[in-house]
Structure 1
Amino acid sequence: MTERVNRGIETLAEDDKDKKDRDNRDYLIQATYRKRQYELDRMYRKRHDDLRAANDKMLKDSLKKQLDRHDENLRQKLKQKEEEAGDRIKKMVCEAVAAEKKKFKRDLEQMAVKLKIVETKLNERLKAEREARRSQELWTAGASLLAATKKGAPLIKVNKELTALEKAAGDNDKLVQTVLKSIPAAVREEGVVPESVLRERYHRMERVALKVALVEQEGATLPVFILSWLQGLMLFLKLNGIPQKDVDKPIRENVDNLDTFDKLQRARYWVERGNIAAALHYVNSLQGASRMAAETWHRDAKSYLEIRQAAEAVLAHAAALGLQYI
């Protein structure tokens, strides 16, 4: 277009007026061109600035969105990593806790076994000491009861000794409880006759029993009483010995073939040697008036033997307890 305009201008007349007009036109054209160029430049710069601003805004928004997506991805990955790390740590902690629990349980079981052994040994030791102390108390009470039967008084009160024996035995000693139950209540109330008094009373009882040896338990006529009394007077000789078979076996199973004199002879033999049990066996086999005459001595001797046997049983029991828990 510029070339066409230039050719058109060249074909025009070259006079001054035309030249001047042409110069004016050129100036106007140049001014219009520069104005238009300026407007186009300004419009271009404006569009350039707008596009640049738009692009910057779009880039900024894109970068912001990308950054947000990146942050979100990072947060998700971080959260996932935290969850995985938490799961691993939780698993490790659970495994460590389970291992410690297992170890603690094993140690606790071992400690329980050891504690049980210690407790058992301690209980055994305490039981041994308790039983040893109880055996000493039983021995002391039994010895006191046995010593009471050997005193020289006509009648010995043994209620104090029996009470001490009950206290020493306690509630769990069945043997001592059985022994104590076998003692009659009359012995507790009245007391017991000692061995020395029994030996002394036996001779008086024997004289009376010999004088009524021929009298039945239901009684007899006067001639029988006189004959029995005379027989007792004539039997002034008292033999100290008895057959060897009775010495070897103090308590005979069959005494029916013995008369009153033989029974009293054997009873006197064992009384003088301190065997009250054998003497009581023969006295218990007496019949008739002789048995009635010997009733008081028989009762006292039986009570004495019951107390003595109880004391000996307690002493043996106490000795066994002492030996068991030494």
Structure 2
Amino acid sequence: MAAPIRPRIPATQFLAAIAFVSAILRSGASDPPLTLDHYASSCPTVFENIRKEMEREVLSDPRSAALVVRLHFHDCFVQGCDGSVLLDDTVMLQGEKTASPNINSLKGFEIIDRIKSKIESDCPRIVSCADILTIAARDAVILVGGPYWDVPVGRKDSRSASYELANTNIPTPNQGLISVISKFLYLGLSITDTVALSGAHTIGMARCENFRARIYGDYELTSGGSPLSEVHLSKLKSACPAAGGGEDNIEPLDYATPYTFDNSYYHLLLNGEGLLNSDQELYSSILAIQTKKLVEQYAFDTGAFFRQFSDSMVKMGNLTNPDSFLQGEVRKNCRLINA
């Protein structure tokens, strides 16, 4: 007997279903509200001190901005923005740092350590590591030319981490459009949020192993083989040989303005020059109906990108871990739970 024919679900219905399920899952949580004045009396200097420390870090090394922003993203995608990504492995706890998307990607932990040390000297055991990371990410963006937004605070630090969720929740460089969007939708972040937050790749670097498949795949096809893109592609291939080797060699995600937070990233996508497959898919995928329009909008309207990025960063930053409010703490050391 012939097997029954199962109708294929259109991508739009599939994504809508994920968004619906995500809303149901999150509706049961009643997270304590975050506020702008949480530290107004207990640690009134917290915002100023974090800004000053980030200024020192970015002046010392402009790449520090992207490192801190990436830490914030990878934290929020696992258990919400609870500082779990900062935890080291111990005998009693497996952290997230060695998960596949993190082990060779995340740096800058010592930046948060230095900021935490300064905050602890002024306001001991008051300000959570999760809040420090969230505020520092905002300041990092501003310091390299990006927009300002108010950061609601009051997060607690988690006493747990999830190696498993780090391996499944965080988008990876070679994923297709549906997979990437699904991971954002699962957290309650919209397709608009997905495209805007991906704009953080206007700063930062990528390792050869994360863009090899792209440059030896359809890069030349999407870029149209223009003379400028051919020159850049040749440079990328020199840094990242097809036969292997050079896995730790890095190249900027936005080679036009690698240390400036602007909308250049979207222009690269329009030109078919996105370094990561997951980025270029936002514009070049046959399913990129809505995302393509957003890429075009942000490429031609910096103000629209900055406004949406700010709104989406607040939305992502408000992803909280209900367990951390009930059982969380303010860590003295961001790498370890309190004894």
TM superposition score normalised by structure 2: 0.20
Ranked by relative contact order (alpha carbons within 8 Å, sequence separation 6 or more), the top structure is: 2
TM superposition score normalised by structure 1: 0.20
State the structure with more CA Rg: 1
